[in-house]
Amino acid sequence: MVLPLLTRLDHVGIACRDLDRAIALYQATFGLEVASMEVNEEQGVREAMMQVGAGRAGVGELGVGYVQLLQPLAPDTPVGKFLARRGEGIHHVGYGVSDVGRASGWWTSGPGTVPWAPRSRSCIRPTSGAC
């Protein structure tokens, strides 16, 4: 029996030019609140996780998902290049996985190839061909 690899929809990454404006829009339109904010130098983004669903904030909790708003730190970062090509919008979908090793094998050699090693959360970009 094959156990499900994907355990939940963790987050949807949205590329935006102005993080503060995007946060205000998601708060005013959908009533979402910021669960966490950080600058991720490695990925070249300033990001905010906006909690969707009931329950205590925290990655991986049943019933809680996130909208991840991503503002590039520079135009030559992956999100900066995405914005230049496609404009603001869905950048990637993040899934929780049951087995990081199995996910890593699939993500790096299968139809959903991604250029980084997955962690406890894995992402597929809509252009990866995994759909």
Q: What is the pLDDT of residues 79-127, one digit of tens each?
A: 999 999 999 999 988 877 777 776 666 555 655 545 444 454 445 555 5
Three-state secondary-structure class, residue 129: coil
pTM of the model: 0.76
Q: Indicate the residue type of 6.
A: L
As given in the structure block, the two tokens for residue 56 are 């205590």
pLDDT of residue 93: 85
Provide, rounded to the nearest whole percent, the portion of the chain with pLDDT above 70: 66
Domains of the chain: residue spans and CATH: 6-128 (3.10.180.10)
Confidence of residue 4 (pLDDT cuts 50, 70, 90): confident
Dihedral angle of Cα 61, 73, 128, 95, to the nearest 10 degrees: 0
pLDDT of residue 28: 96
